[in-house]
Amino acid sequence: MQVTSSQFKQTARVKLTDPRLQAALRKLQGNFVKGRADRIAELDNFEDIRDAAAAVRDRALAHLDRYLEEFENNATARGAMVHWAETAADVNRIVCEIAARHGVRRIAKSKSMVTEECGLNDALEAAGYEVVETDLGEYILQLAREHPSHIVAPVVHKSRDEVSDLFAAKHGQPRKSDIAELTREARLMLRPRFLAADMGVTGANFLIAETGSTLIVTNEGNGRMVTTLPRVHVAITGIEKVVPTLEDIATLMRLLPRHGTGQSVTNYISVTTGARGRDETDGPEHFHIVLVDAGRTGLLGTDLQPMLRCIRCGACMNHCPVYQSIGGHAYGWVYPGPMGSVLTPSYAGLENALDLPHAATLCNQCGVVCPVKIPLPELLRKLREQQFERRLRPAAERMGLALWGRIAQRPALYAFAARIAAKILAWIGGREKLVHSLPFAGGWTGGRDLPAPEGRTFRDLYARRGATREESGEIK
């Protein structure tokens, strides 16, 4: 998928004034945020489970190469074919080759963010294959030729009315407005396509080293369809998704659905190992697994390695005040919200996503809710530092910060400068005591006023207070 993160500010401005999007985002907070809170209250040792989940992911990352080899050995022993893809382009090439080898024409897909990274659908269509997305949300997006705006609820930005219009136009059937009827219509359109598909393409929430299995969690049942009915199954996922054992899966499954959709368990958890056995009446005859790097190894061994613990639950975006205000599209790539603000610069280039590490208030809501304890604000700060070091920030900002840095190292000068600045701001603020606009800070004052400082600076007050306390004998 193309990266449009450089237009973050322009897009965000539009999204802020889109009433339909704003209403949709409010609903998300109600359902996913409250749902998560209610469901984690069911676990009386929630923090222990969370620590254990983070440890499971860290353990896998600490010996990533060994667990991947273990996975590969066990998957191969069960008859799966394991492929390795270094880049997004490799993924597309490998999947096209698999399709060609098995004489595939029709492909049914279940939701996979890794294939969004690669733009796999476009590549398959360009190669002449018929591809249908079967997750309801992704199906809607495919019809509308749009991208997902949330990693769990891809179509959260669209209203029922828009879906009604879209279905009426594309399905050529009477317009329906009831959500259950719309869902039924999609079911009836997609059922024959599941049955006719030669190849099913899925992601994998996890790879299990112990057994060589891939695992997907779904609610709709489409993931089960595409791993059961077509004669070829291709599972595509990042190399970081490996976990050692089935016990580790049990730990992670207590957290993923709760944080993802506010469910104690998802409808389906499907663990697939190898191809169809002899005498079985269903299941794919060929099972391929594509393990994708595409930037992941670049995070290993760096300050950003904890990001690879991510289990793609979406809780960080659901709780992020920035995401809650602008939705997912402004982030400009596959992954929105705080996790996206770390992943997009990391996978798609720091210089292509200059605003993303700043698209956060660093309020740490994301860090507090992340089920695998990824310190997201800290990682965003690291990226900001990298931008500064690589001179990717605007000259004015760099100069300003350098100047501030130099002054801050001289306490007397700093105190003097702060006093002057407070005086000037108080003077600009006038009788209203509000600053309406400031040079170099137009972005900040564009949407709000800055209260003008009153009286002394903090340092002055602090110094005075210390002195009075000392006099009264409070501090020795």
Site for another protein in 148-187 (CB under 8 A): 153-156, 158-160, 163, 179-180, 182-184, 187
By rule CB under 8 A, what count of residues binds another protein?
Answer: 105
Q: Which residue's CB is nearer to another protein, number 90 or number 130?
A: 90
Q: Is 277 in the site for another protein (CB under 8 A)?
A: yes
213 binds, options another protein, ligand SF4, none, Cβ within 5 to 8 A by partner type: another protein
Determine contact, residues 166/144, Cβ cutoff 8 Å: yes
The partner in contact with residue 43, picked from ligand SF4, another protein, none with C-beta cut-offs of 5 to 8 angstroms by kind, is another protein
Tell whether residue 358 is a contact of ligand SF4 (CB under 6 A). no
List the one residue from 230, 244, 257, 371 that touches ligand SF4 (CB under 6 A).
371
- Tell me how far, at minimum, the Cβ of 214 lies from ligand SF4, in Å: 19
Q: Are 112 and 137 in contact (CB under 8 A)?
A: no
How far apart CA 357 and CA 354 sit, in angstroms, is 7
Q: Contact at 8 Å (CB) between 220 and 136? A: yes
Among 106, 187, 193, 312, binds ligand SF4 (CB under 6 A): 312
Choices 37-45, 203-211, 221-229, 314-322; region in contact with ligand SF4 by CB under 6 A: 314-322
At 268, is the secondary structure helix, strand, or coil? Answer: strand
Residue 60 or 359 having the CB closest to another protein: 60
- Of all helices (H) and strands (E), which one includes residue 14? helix 8-16
Q: Which residues pair with residue 130 across a beta bridge?
A: 106
| Least distance CB 360 / ligand SF4 (angstroms) | 12
Residues 333 and 151 sit within 8 Å (Cβ to Cβ): no
Which ranges of 349-375 does DSSP label H, i.e. alpha helix? 365-369
Q: Is 315 in the site for ligand SF4 (CB under 6 A)?
A: yes
Task: Please choose which of another protein, ligand SF4, none residue 351 contacts, taking the beta carbon within 5 to 8 angstroms, the exact cut-off set by kind.
Answer: none
Token reading at 463: 């110094």
Among 229, 374, 380, 383, binds ligand SF4 (CB under 6 A): 374
Contact between 130 and 193 (Cβ < 8 Å): no
22: contact with another protein by CB under 8 A? no
Task: List binders of another protein among 70-89 (CB under 8 A).
Answer: 70, 78, 84-86
CB-CB contact of 202 with 189 (8 Å): no
- Cα 254 to Cα 37, 121, 273, 276: the distances in Å are 14, 32, 22, 29
The answer to whether the Cα torsion of 150, 152, 154, 156 is positive or negative is negative
DSSP 290: E
Q: Copy the structure tokens of residue 320.
A: 């992020």
CA 209 to chain centre: 24
Site string for ligand SF4, 281-310 (x = CB under 6 A): -----------------------------x
Binding pattern for the stretch 234-273 against ligand SF4, x by CB under 6 A and - elsewhere: -------------------------x--------------
Q: 285 is written with which tokens? A: 């005859």
Which C-beta is closer to ligand SF4: that of 121 or that of 261?
261
d(CA 209, CA 59): 12
Stretch that binds ligand SF4, among 113-121, 185-193, 226-234, 313-321 (CB under 6 A): 313-321
Task: Give the binding site for ligand SF4 (CB under 6 A).
Answer: 259, 310-316, 339, 369-372, 374
